[in-house]
Chains A and B, each alone.
Chain A
Amino acid sequence: MRFPSIDLLRAVAIALMVTVHFVENLSGAWGEGVDFNRVGWLPAGFAAPLFTLLSGVSYAIWSDGLSRRGVSDGEIAKRTVRRGLFLFGLGIAFNVLVWLPEETFNWDILTFIGSSLLVLAACRTMPPAIPPLIALLAVAIAPVLRALAGYADFWRLGSYEPDLTLADVWLGFLCTGYFPLFPWLVFPIAGYAVAPAIFSIGHGGTSLWPAAISASRRCGLVFGMGACLLVGGGLFILLPLPGPDGVVRRPWTMFPPTTAYVAVTLGLALTAVTLIHRWLDSPGPRPIGWPLAAAGLLSRHSLSIYLLHHALHIWPLWIAGTWQGGEPTAFWQRCLPPGASLGLALVFVIACVPLFAGLERRGYRGIEGLMRWLCD
C-alpha cells in the first residue's frame, strides 16, 4: 500500500539530497558563499535523516503487507536480508564507480540503508520494546565511540579520509564514516517503531502501541514526541555551552552527527510525517493533484534518481579533470558558482518527472525493479 504522505516526504528528501550534492560537489561546501553549517543550509541536513527514517517506515509497511498476505516470517526475513545485501553491494559498487576505488569504504547512505535493513530484519523478531531501546543506545553511545575512535583524525576539510586498513574500514562503518551505524541507526529504527502508530499497521501483530489507544491519539503521541525532540534539540543549538577548554562548541553538525543534530532532525522528521499523514492520507479527494503525482513518481524512483544524479554531475567532473590535467578531482568543488549548481539541481529534479514518467510508460522499472526481481 502506498501512502501519499510518504511519497511526498521521500520526494522532498531526494530533491534536497540532489540539491545538496550538486552544490557541494560542483561548488564546494566550504568554499566562498557556501557553508553547510549556516542556518540557511539547515534544510540540507534534514534530507538524509528524513530519507532514512522513511526507509524504516516503508519497511514496517512493506513487511506488514507481506505478513497480511500470508507470507511467512522466515520468507520476509530472507527477502529483507537479500534486499539489505543488494543495497549494501550496490552502495559499494556505487562508491567504486562514482567516487573512484580509493573511496570504496567511505560508508555512504546506500551501504548504511543496506546495513540498517539487516538490523530491521532482526528487529522484527525482537520484543517490541527492544528496537526503540537500540535506537536510544545508538544515539547515546555514538559520541563515546567517536571519542574512542578519534573521529577528527579521519576528517580533513569536510571530507572523510581514512587509511585503507581493516581497522579504519571497521571504524568508518561503525562510527567515523559519512553514514556510520552509530548514531544513524536511530532513524530507520525510529521509523520502524512509529509506523504502526501513524499508519495503523502492526509488525505481524507485535506493536509497541496498545490497541486501546485510538489511531489519532497514537499519531498525536508521535507528533508530541517529535515536537519534544525538536524543541529540546533546538534549545541545545540555540544555547551552545562552552567546552572544557572554554571554546563554545557548535552542536549543529551533520559530520559528525551531534546529539542535538540527531534530536532536531528526528523531531522534525517525526512531526513532518505525522502532520502530512493527517493532511494527505485521510480518505476523500486529495488536496493537491499533479504535484502529488510528481512526488509519487520521484518517490518510486528515488533510488534510481540517487544513482543517476551522482553519475550525471560527478562523472563529467572526473572526465574533465582527467582530460585537462590528469587529476580526476581537479574540478571537484570548484567547477561552478553555487547559484549555477543550485539551478542545475533544480533543472535535474524537474527533468526527472517527465523522464521517469516516460520510462514507466515504456515498462522500465529501474534499479528498484531490479532489486525486487532479484530479492523478492
Chain B
Amino acid sequence: MKNASSLAKPQHTGPAPLDFPPEGLPPSARLERIAFLHTAENSTENLPAAILQFDDPPGMRAVSADATLLPGANSSDNGFHLLLLPLEPPSDQPLPQAAIDWVAAERQAPEGMLMLSLHGASLAWSPHRTAVAAGPERLSAVRLAIIEFCYREMKLRSIERGVAEGRGAEETDARLVFEFDDRALEQRDALSRRYQQTLAMRSQLARLMPSLQRPPLHPPTLAGQIGERLRDRTRLVDRADWAGGELEVRERLYEACGQRATDWTIARRQSTVEWLIVLLLAVETLLLVVDLLASVGG
C-alpha cells in the first residue's frame, strides 16, 4: 500500500489514481463514486437508486456508481469521489491529514484545494475529490449538500471550459464582422456551429443561475450552510457572471457574423443577377458595335 506522500505526486493529466483507503483513516471511512447520469442515456433497470434528482436537465440524477457496471460513470467529467468520515463523539475533530492529502493529490483544481470547517463538520474539496468528516447523524444531509454543490460546480466548470475553448476562434472571427469575403464564406458552417454552441452555453448558464443565486434556507441547517459556504468560497455566482459576460459578447459577435454572412450571400445573389443583365447588355452592344464596324469598314 502506498503512503499519503506518494499520493501527492504530481499527475500530468486527470485526477491521481485512487488508492484507498489511505493510511491513517479510521476504519469507518467510506469512499463512494458519485456519478451524474441521465436516465435517457442509461436504462433505468441498471441505474442504482437516485441519491438526488435534478431538474436541469430533467432526468439527471446523482447515483452512487459502480464504475464497472455503468458506462461513463467513471468519467472525471460527470462525477466525483466522495470520502465520508463519520466522526465518533466528540464530533468537532479536524479532518484527518490522510484525507486532506488524498484530496490534495488531485491536481485539476486551478484554485487548489478548498478547506472548510463549520459547526463540527469539516471538509476538503477539489473538483473531483471531496472528503468530509462529520458526526454520523449529520453526515447524510451534508453528503446531499456536497453532491448538489458538486453538480452545479461541475456544470459551471463545463461552461467555463467551453468559453475558454472558444476564445481563439472568437478573436479570429471578430474580423469577419467587417471583412466578410469569398474565403470567409467557407467558414459559414463553422460560424453557425459556434453560434449554436454559444447559445447552448448561455441557455445552460441561464438555467444554472437560479440555483446559484437562491436565497439561504430558513431556518438554517448545517447542510444548507455548507452548500452556501461552498458556493461563496468557490465564487460560483461571480464565475457565472464572468462566463455570462463573455458569452454575451460572443453571442453578439456571432450574431453580427451571421448577419454579415447572410447579407453577403444575398448581395452575391443580387450581384449574379446584375452581372447576367450586364452580360446580356454587353452581348447586345458587341453585336451592334461589330455590325457598325463592319458597315464602316465595308
Residues on A close to B: CB < 8 A? Answer: 67, 126-127, 129-130, 133-134, 137, 141, 144-145, 148-150, 153, 163, 165, 167-168, 170-171, 174-175, 182, 202-206, 211
Of B142-150, B153-161, B228-236, B279-287, the stretch lying at the interface with chain A is: B279-287
The reply to whether B279 and A168 form a contact with Cβ atoms under 8 Å apart is no
Interchain CB contact under 8 A, B276 and A133? yes
Taking CB atoms and an 8 Å cut-off, the chain B residues in 189-214 that contact chain A are none
Contact among B181, B271, B279, B296 for A167, CB-based, below 8 A: B296
Q: What residues of B have a CB within 8 angstroms of the CB of A127 in the complex?
A: 268, 271-272, 275
Closest to B183 in A: A205
Determine the chain A residues whose CB is within 8 A of the CB of B283 once the complex forms.
137, 141
CA distance A203 to B294 in the complex (A): 38
17 contacts between A and B (CB under 8 A): A126-B275, A127-B268, A130-B275, A141-B286, A148-B291, A149-B293, A149-B294, A149-B297, A150-B298, A153-B298, A170-B289, A174-B290, A202-B186, A204-B181, A205-B184, A205-B185, A206-B182
Considering only CB atoms, which chain A residue lies closest to B295 in the complex? A167
Which A residues are in CB contact (< 8 Å) with B275? 126-127, 130
CB of A211 within 8 A of CB of B279, answer no
Residues of B within 8 A of A (CB): 181-186, 268, 271-272, 275-276, 279, 283, 286-287, 289-291, 293-294, 296-298
A133 to B275: give the CA distance in the assembly, Å. Answer: 10
Determine the chain A residues whose CB is within 8 A of the CB of B272 once the complex forms: 127, 129-130
Query: Given contacts A205-B186, A206-B185, are A130 and B279 in contact (CB under 8 A)?
Result: yes
Quick check: B182 and A145 within 8 Å, CB to CB? no
Residues in A neighbouring B286, C-beta threshold 8 A: 141, 145, 174, 182
**Neighbouring B residues of A141 by C-beta, 8 Å:** 283, 286-287
Contacts of A202 in B (CB 8 A): 182-183, 186
Bound-state CA distance A206–B287 (Å) is: 31
State in angstroms the CA–CA spacing of A26 and B289 once bound together: 38
B23 shortest CB reach to chain A, Å? 59
Given A130-B272, A144-B287, A163–B297 Cβ distance below 8 Å?
yes
